[in-house]
Amino acid sequence: MKQSNTTKPDTMNTKISDMLRHGRALALGVVSLVFLALPAYTVEIRLASPLPHNSDWGLILDRIAAEWYQVTNGEVVLNISHQRPGTEDQYLQWLRQNRFQAAVFTSQAFYSIASEIMALSVPFFIRNNDEFDAVLQEVRPLLDAKIEEKGFKALAWVKGGWVMIFSRSPVFTPDDLRRLKVGTNPGDKKLNDAFKALGFQVVGSSLADIPTFLISGRIDAFYQSPIAVQASSLYREARNLSSIRLAPFMGGVLMNRQGWASIPERYREQLHDIVRKAGREFEDSFQRREAEAVEVMRRDGVTYNEVTPQMEQLWLNDISSRIPGLLDRNVFNKEMYLKVQEILERYRRTH
């Protein structure tokens, strides 16, 4: 009798069961691997930045986000809102409301959180970047503590460059500037008070107001970062730039208390280091951009008025004689001012 080559039903069912069982095990294994690759949970930190996405600074922020993701295996995700419209006061409000957990700020926001920081911007007090570094090295822990008392974490302090004087007529000495109406940021009340106490004519004028105020004669001069002036072409109506550096200014990255607490403790120091390292890159970029901005404006017809050492001494003598009055009026925090003064005197004796 011819043997049938048809598989028996029981044998066929057994093979099918084995295939399903092996397939199910394989599928479960794949799913397990996927879940093992995913973080247990994800912390999202939203950061607001006024800086353009395609700028050097925007690219540095993007790299911070990539490095945070890498070192935490995706457990901490930094989402950056580049060129976010809004004032610094609004940025601070968003952090307080926890709409954003971090943001990039300039000196103005730092001052409003901890007024002690204002002592670093006393006109003609700190004279160069080396002195600024020496001061920051010693006072940064104190400033960090002041910031934390107000519910924020300073992830990075960044030297943003120097405020300089732009004017319609040349400015070499304090008396040259006193003859002019100086446009100042209406929001910088403390600094405006300082300038008034130093005998200068102050006119509140936002960055957007400066061109029309210069044309109309409401102001004759203003002080600002050369980077901002060159980028916004403000120098076209004020074609004199004094070489004297008025004061340094800072920026940095602040995080609110909720955002910092949400980051797993095992990652905090490493993430903090990433931002501090990026802050040093910001500083290098600011210094290059400031020098480039001055050169571009000079090529475009701005007169760079070189202040001689004798003229510089006039500024130093004039301002230092008026500082006690500013401290008495509490324009600058006296304790922090005296701390910075002691650091500077010690530094100048050895350099």
Q: Do 84 and 50 contact (CB within 8 A), yes or no?
A: yes
What domains are there in the chain, each with its CATH number? 39-350 (3.40.190.170)
* Separation of alpha carbons 57 and 286, rounded Å: 9
CB atoms within 10 A of CB 350: 6
Q: What digits encode the pLDDT tens for the residues 112-144?
A: 898 888 889 888 899 999 999 999 999 999 999
User: pLDDT in tens for each of the 351 residues of the chain?
Assistant: 434 444 444 544 444 445 445 544 444 444 344 444 455 568 999 999 998 898 888 999 999 999 999 999 999 999 999 999 998 899 999 999 999 999 999 877 888 898 888 889 888 899 999 999 999 999 999 999 999 999 999 999 998 899 999 999 999 999 999 999 999 887 777 777 778 888 899 999 988 899 999 999 999 999 999 999 999 999 999 999 999 998 998 889 999 999 999 999 999 999 999 999 999 998 888 889 999 999 999 999 999 999 999 999 999 999 888 888 878 777 788 999 999 999 999 999 998
Q: Do 114 and 152 contact (CB within 8 A), yes or no?
A: no
* Separation of alpha carbons 326 and 338, rounded Å: 13
Q: What digits encode the pLDDT tens for the residues 212-221?
A: 999 999 999 9
Q: Do 167 and 238 contact (CB within 8 A), yes or no?
A: yes
Is 271 exposed, middle or buried, given 0-12, 13-18 or 19+ CB atoms closer than 10 A? buried
Residue that has been written with the tokens 């230092």 in this structure: 320
DSSP characters over 76-140: EEEEEETT--S-HHHHHHHHHHTS-SEEEEEHHHHHHH-GGGGGGGSTTTS-SHHHHHHHHHHHH
The HSE-up count of residue 105 (CA atoms within 13 Å, CB side) is: 28
* Separation of alpha carbons 83 and 105, rounded Å: 12
